[in-house]
Amino acid sequence: MMKKLMLKKMMMSVLAAAMFVVPVTQVSAESEKGTAKDKAQRLAEEIVSSYGVSGIQYAIRDQGSIVLSDSAGVSDKANGEQITEDTMFGIGSVSKMYVSAATMILADAKKVDIDKPLTTYIPEFKMADERYKDITPRMLMNHSSGLFGTHYGNSMLFDDTDTENHDELLSRLQSERLKSDPGEYSVYCNDGFQLLELLVERVSGLSYSEFLDQYISSPLHLSSTKTPLDEFDREQLAKTYFPTIEKALPVEYANVLGAGGIFSTAEELTAFGEVLIGNRTDILSEQSAKAMQNPEYRRGLWVPEETNAFNYGLGWDAVSLAPFSDYGITALNKGGDTTMYHAALTTIPEYDLSIAVLTSGGSSIYNTIFASEVLLEYLEDTGKIKEIQPDKTFKPAVKVEMPAQLQAYSGRYGAVGSTANIEIKDGELELSVLAGMIPPQKYVYTGDGQFTSMDGSAAVSFDEQKNGKTYLKLKAYLTIPGIGQMIMVTYEYQKLNPNPLDQTTQKAWEKRNGKNYYAVNEKITSIMYMEPSILTKNITIDQGYVSGARIVDANQALNVAEIPVMSGRDAFDLNFYKVNNVEYLKVEGFSYISEEAVKPIYAGKSSKVTIPSNGHAVWFKIGKQSANKSMTVDVPVSGGFAVYDAQGKVVHFSAVSDERSIILPEGGLIVLGGEAGDVIKIKMSKK
Cis bond upstream, residue 323 (ω within 30): yes
Question: 365: part of which helix (H) or strand (E)?
Answer: helix 364-381
CB 37 within 8 A of CB 59: no
CB 163 within 8 A of CB 212: no
Pairing of strands 574-579, 582-587: antiparallel
**What is the per-residue pLDDT for 18?**
29
Burial tier of 567 (Cβ tally within 10 Å: 0-12, 13-18, 19+): buried
Task: Report the 10 Å Cβ neighbour count for 580.
Answer: 5
CB 230 within 8 A of CB 209: yes
Please report how many Cα atoms fall inside a 13 Å half-sphere around the Cα of residue 263, on the Cβ side.
27
CB 226 within 8 A of CB 262: yes
**What is the per-residue pLDDT for 218?**
98
User: Where on the phi/psi map is residue 370: left (φ > 0), alpha (ψ -120 to 50), or beta?
Assistant: alpha
**Cα–Cα distance, 381 to 437 (Å, whole number):** 33
CB 598 within 8 A of CB 654: no
**Cα–Cα distance, 536 to 516 (Å, whole number):** 6
| CA separation, residue 664 to residues 529, 621, 639, 646 (Å) | 17, 10, 19, 10
pLDDT tens across 180-189, in order?
Answer: 999 999 999 9
**What is the per-residue pLDDT for 26?**
35
According to DSSP, residue 176 is labeled: -
**Cα–Cα distance, 357 to 61 (Å, whole number):** 12
- Phi and psi dihedrals of 382, rounded to 5? -95, 10
Pairing of strands 470-480, 484-495: antiparallel
Question: 342: part of which helix (H) or strand (E)?
Answer: strand 341-348
**What is the per-residue pLDDT for 398?**
97
**Cα–Cα distance, 584 to 594 (Å, whole number):** 6
| CA separation, residue 250 to residues 94, 240, 304, 354, 658 (Å) | 22, 8, 44, 31, 11
Q: Which residues contact 411 (CB under 8 A, 6 or more apart)?
A: 421, 422, 495, 496
**Cα–Cα distance, 600 to 643 (Å, whole number):** 13
**Cα–Cα distance, 409 to 429 (Å, whole number):** 11
**Cα–Cα distance, 583 to 108 (Å, whole number):** 51
According to DSSP, residue 498 is labeled: P
Question: 269: part of which helix (H) or strand (E)?
Answer: helix 266-277
Closest CA to 149 of 14, 303, 2: 2
Low-confidence ranges of the chain (pLDDT < 70): 1-34
CA 464 to chain centre: 28
Helix axes 266-277, 95-108, angle to 10 degrees: 40
**Cα–Cα distance, 335 to 309 (Å, whole number):** 10
Q: Which residues contact 172 (CB under 8 A, 6 or more apart)?
A: 151, 588, 589
